[in-house]
Structure 1
Amino acid sequence: MEIERLVAFLESSPTVRLLRADQAAFVVCFLRHSLKLTGQDSAISLSHNELQHRLTVFQEQLREDGYDAFSGSADRYLREWSDAGWLRRFLPAESSSPHYQLTRYAEDAIGFLEQSISRETRMVGTESRLRLVIDTLTDLVQGASSDREQRLQTLIEQRDDLNRQIDSIRGGAEIETYHPAQVRERFHTAVDLLKTLQGDFRAVEDRFEEIARDVTRGALDTERGRGDILAGALDAEDLVKQQDEGVSFDAFVAFLFSPQAQAKLRETIAEVTRLEAITDQRGAIEHVRAMVPSLLAEAENVLRQTGRLSQTLRRLLDSQSTSHRKRTAEVLQEIRTLAAKMKQSTSQTGIPVPSEIGLRVDTTLGISSPLTRPFWTPPQVFDIAVETNEIDWETAKRHARKLSGLKRLQWDRMRDLVHRVTDLQTNITLSQLLEHRPPTVGVIELVGWMQIAHEDGHAIDAEATEQVTVTTEDPLSGESSTVHVRVPLVTFSKTHQIENEPVRKGKPR
């Protein structure tokens, strides 16, 4: 880490400002108990009234305990903490009052203090972390390799190891279990990872919020077109989904929202909380018990942020609101121009400014129901097992040869034929025209003749039909087959051709 980078971080980071604040202990304690701890009295986000009430109760409790802190109003502190970057204030779609939630900077500060304090009172375990690192590296090597022989050898070794353990247990051997110290160590490692995971959601959510702010700022720029703003927003959203955080979050949502994964995870948590070695760890046990609903709430919160971005894009696509916004900008510019002219005229002529200056607005009030637009909902995630399909190369080659053997419709030559025939004969039906030029491409050529008749204004009678015979040839086998097709009665005429002849580039006929 370079010195310049460290200096800039320590001077500008909201996390560092929170740790250096005069009343940092009280701020962290309140934010942690209100928006971080998992329990009945805490949540991921709280409304302004609820958080204000909790802060008022917290202030009264501090005064009763003899602390001289937080003497101002609750609204003032909530506003200051939002401005400092420790709380994020937003307006949910389903609520009319603002809500608050922790920012990633507050999460980092709380996590740093929790980890630092717990190390002084809790055993520092190294064995479980080492095993976790080894297991992760082993899984990385196995999952990143596409070597079939290596993957097969690994699975065989795992199968043999499982068979040895099964045979040993069936033979009456003693089952090896973790020591209580090892149980507690692994349990605290899992709890630490869970707390880190819950804090990491803020980074993904902040990224989507940053995109939404950029889109909003771009929408206020009257010089940029809606297409440019929309393209930039969609590119930014796709970029987030393609980045490592976005790919990991999509995989996390796909796993956590799976009913089978949730059921297995709840069953595992229930078994873990019944272990005797950790019965005294009540706070950590409650944290793990609320793991599934807490993670689901965190994921839904990020998805709601993505929904707000979609709503921003939808408002951007509303051409009526865009025209109104441009018109408002033009009116404001006209007002500024008139004010400047009035000021210049007053200074030159000495005539005082009129005491009463007003505006007359001629407009109509448009009324629309907010229920006419559906709310954004996250896409349904299906837990579908991946299936491997083998490609039949012979079938693919056969279809490719058929595709390469297809012929294109020669539109210019077809229209030239219509010109030549109608010069000799004023009206001619499609079946009569095909006597001069039998179809060579197949049945699709009939569609081409009807398309020409439609575009050039010839008569197409859908009520009357005629039968056309088409001879097709298989490009692979060379075998011919005859197909009888009944089509609408199409009549090509010289008059419609001249009146509706399309403009074509090339040499004159």
Structure 2
Amino acid sequence: MEGAAPVHMYCKINIKVTSMAQDRFMALDALALMRHSNASWKLLASDDAAFCCAFFYQEFLAGNVRNLPEARLLMDMRPFLKEKHALAKEPQPEEEALEGEAKQYLRRWSDEEHRWLRRFYRNHMTYYDLTTSGQKAVEWLENLRSRSFIGTESRLHTFFNILHEIEHKANPDKKARLDYLRKQRAEIDEKIRRLREGGEVEVLDEVQIKERFMEAMDIAAGILSDFREVKDKFQGIYNDFRNEVNEWEQGKGALLSQFIADREIIEESEQGKSFSAFFDYLMASSQQEDFDQTMRKILRLKALAGETNRYNPLHVRRAWVDGAEDVQQTIGKLSEQIRWYVNENNLQEKKNIYFQVKEIEKKALAMRGREPKREKEFMWLDEAAPTISLPMERPLRMPPAQMELAQDALTVGEHVGSLEAIFNQVYVDKAVLRAHIEDMLETRQKVTLKEVIVAYPLEKGLFELLAYMEIAKSEACHFTPAKERIFFQGIDGRSRYVTMERIVFEKKEP
């Protein structure tokens, strides 16, 4: 019995330490440190928080835009700077001064101290993208907006549905799975029986529809926010790898092994696997078509007539694809840059530059406290950093070719052939084509272009088919990935066919 007491005491202490470790993130000292080190918190606590967040939201988040060139940001920041000076009751600076001020802001927001923007170079141009820290700060402010409607019932259903899915799909027992599926089939059969016997169809009311739609759009926005965090993780791996290249003393094989191991940590992590599964699911053509059709049907509901959201619901899938492709492109570019870094000549050149910079830093630190006095005029810099000019990086100017005109006198020529082709132009009346489409939609909700052409054959061949496609771009219709072959007779009498994406026209709401 004497030996049991220490064991009991050890267990209690161990549990207490584990609980404290889980709460370390919200501990007072951890939060005090985060207040001065976390980029998102520093943005919200900065004096220019309102100016920064308003600009970031308008440029990047309002339209889900990524990777903007510096020239566009400098131009778009000018009205924000003018409004900022007006609110502070400061005199309005000149246009040239505004551009210089805007450039200073972009440089400051992308430095190591702030890390609200990421600056990079592409095709000899400077680009910026909002970082995860900057996005989190702006979205935190956006969540402070008062909602006109707060629903809880749909989230409760979602909560229980997720729990039931985990309960049944995490159990490998075949008998339990069969019992669950039989129970579901019995419930479905019972619903079918009631409907056949004249029972009423259970439908969602307007409140339930609106609540579930808002929850779906919140999930969609959350997915878009996650893309930047995944991208930043891969970018962080590359930055660490680049620093290791400069200090690496072993062979290139060991260097690549270290990089591959670091990359696999993310790809095999829970977040990496989830992103990979999401990308494969999203890129399936059947899923894209199902999403478009479902979203269009939902948006016709009367309960959602006045709903607005940061993202156009019809463009959510496109925004997902753009965000996922941006992550994939980042991974591909990192691989290209890594191949360049491990090249023998480039590797040695980078090391030489790195060690020269380190040598300068050592000498500068050695001079601390022994700086020359001002009267000796040791050395002065007008700016904090040198201005770099790379004239050889610019393409050489190619003078335009000069046109030489012949001095021969113009004479009257003779025409050979028929002039009928000039006067026999083909005119297609789009109003007639629209009438054909409306006639087909009188008895159905949607109709394909092929069905319209079967009912009203093309009289003017390819010209009429192109006119239908122009109408499709401006009317309530959509293109689907499925291919279909359309046969028609050209104006020359020859039979032809076109293989194209399926175009579906839909009836307009009254």
Equivalent residue, structure 2, for 1:386? none
Find the aligned partners of 1:29 and 1:16 in 2 and give their Cα distance.
16
Q: CA deviation at 1:230?
A: 0.9
1:96 corresponds to which residue? 124
Aligned equivalents of 1:3 and 1:65: distance in 2? 36
Checking the alignment, whether the CA contact within 8 Å between 1:88 and 1:101 is kept in structure 2 is yes
Contact 1:218 1:224 (C-alpha < 8 Å) held by counterparts: no
2:335 to 310, 317, 325: 310
Q: Name the residue aligned to 2:76.
A: 54
Contact in 2 for aligned 1:129/1:189 (Cα 8 Å): yes
Corresponding residue number in structure 2 for 1:187: 213
Q: Which residue pairs with 2:503 in the alignment? A: none
Give the Cα–Cα distance (whole angstroms) in 1 for the partners of residues 226 and 356 of structure 2.
46
Q: Which residue among 58, 62, 65 is the counterpart of 1:33?
A: 58
Residue identity matched to 1:26:
F
Shift of 1:67: 7.3
The partner residue of 2:136 within 79, 91, 108 is: 108
Partner in structure 2 of residue 249 of structure 1: 275
Q: Could you report, residue by residue, the CA deviation over 1:257-308 in whole angstroms, capped at 9, with x for unpaired residues?
A: 1111111111122122222112111335x53221111111111111122112
**TM-score, normalised on structure 1?**
0.59
Amino acid at match of 2:70: H
Aligned to 1:133: 159
Tell me the equivalent position of 1:163.
189
Return the letter of the residue paired with 1:48: E
The separation in 2 between residues aligned to 1:303 and 1:259, in whole angstroms, is 18
Paired amino acid for 1:90: F
Q: Which one of 214, 225, 232 corresponds to residue 206 of structure 1?
A: 232
Distance 1:80 1:98 in 2: 15
Question: For 1:327 and 1:62, how far apart are their aligned partners in 2?
Answer: 45
Equivalent residues, number: 328
Cα deviation for residue 252 of structure 1 reads 0.7
Q: d(CA) in 2 for partners of 1:159 and 1:323?
A: 68
Pick aligned residue for 2:286 from 260, 267, 270: 260
Say if 1:205 and 1:302, in contact at 8 Å, map to a contact too: yes
Measured after TM superposition, the shift of residue 224 of structure 1 is 3.4
Match runs of 1:222-237 below 5 Å: 223-237=249-263
Q: Tell me the residue number matched to 2:202.
A: 176
Letter in 1 for 2:134: A
Which of 267, 274, 293 is the aligned partner of 2:318?
Answer: 293
CA contact (8 A) 1:215 1:312 kept: no
Cα 1:289–1:66 change in 2 (3 A) is farther
SS of equivalent to 1:253: helix
1:435 maps to what in 2? none
| Aligned-pair CA distance for 1:193 | 1.6
In the aligned structure 2, how far is the partner of 1:58 from the partner of 1:44?
Answer: 20
Query: How many angstroms apart in 1 are the aligned matches of 2:119 and 2:356?
Result: 32
- The RMSD of aligned alpha carbons is 2.9
Runs of at least 5 residues in structure 2 that lack an aligned partner in the other structure: 1-25, 361-510
Aligned to 1:168, the other structure's residue is in SS state: helix
Q: Aligned-pair distance for 1:254?
A: 0.8
Query: Is residue 85 of structure 1 aligned with residue 111 of structure 2?
Result: no
Deviation at 1:333, TM superposition (A): 11
One-letter amino acid of the structure 2 residue matched with residue 11 of structure 1: H
Q: Is the 8 A contact 2:51 2:80 kept in 1?
A: no
2:375 maps to which residue?
none
- 1:327: Cα distance to partner? 7.3
2: CA distance, partners of 1:110 / 1:294: 19
Alignment partner, residue 216 of structure 1: 242
Query: Taking structure 1 as reference, are residues 2 and 36 closer, same or farther at Cα in structure 2, changes over 3 Å only?
Result: same
* 8 Å CA contact 1:198, 1:298 repeated in 2: yes
Identical-residue share of aligned pairs (%) = 27
The one of 251, 272, 275 aligned to 2:298: 272
State the one-letter code of the partner of 1:216.
R
CA distance in 1, matches of 2:297, 2:50: 36
Q: Is the 8 A contact 1:87 1:102 kept in 2?
A: yes
* 1:351-376 deviations in Å (ceiling 9; x for gaps): xxxxxxxxxxxxxxxxxxxxxxxxxx
Q: Which runs of 5+ in 1 are unaligned?
A: 336-509
- Secondary structure of the structure 2 residue equivalent to 1:116: coil
Q: Distance in 2 between matches of 1:101 and 1:211?
A: 18
C-alpha spacing 1:18/1:66, structure 2 compared with 1 (3 Å): closer
Over 3 Å counting, the alpha-carbon distance change for 1:162 and 1:96 in structure 2 is farther
Deviation per residue, 1:81-102 (Å, 9 max, x gap): 212111111224xx32122111
Q: Which deviations, in whole Å up to 9, do the C-alpha atoms of 1:129-161 show, x marking residues without a partner?
A: 111111111111222111111111111222222
Distance 2:86 2:349 in 1: 56
3-state secondary structure, aligned to 1:99: strand
Q: What is the alpha-carbon distance in structure 1 between the residues aligned to residue 77 and residue 330 of structure 2?
A: 26
How far the C-alpha of 1:76 sits from its partner, in A, is 1.4
Contact kept? 1:215, 1:233, Cα under 8 Å: yes
Aligned-residue offset at 1:310:
0.8
Looking at CA atoms only, which structure, 1 or 2, has the larger radius of gyration?
Answer: 1
CA distance in 2, matches of 1:156, 1:185: 31
**What amino acid is aligned across from residue 49 of structure 2 in structure 1?**
A
Partner of 2:118, secondary structure, is strand
Displacement, 1:32? 0.9
Question: Is contact 2:224–2:323 with CA below 8 Å preserved after alignment?
Answer: yes
C-alpha contact 1:18 1:106 (8 A) present in aligned 2: yes
1:45 aligns with 2:67: yes
CA contact (8 A) 1:62 1:69 kept: no
Q: What is the CA-CA distance between 1:329 and the residue it aligns to?
A: 8.1
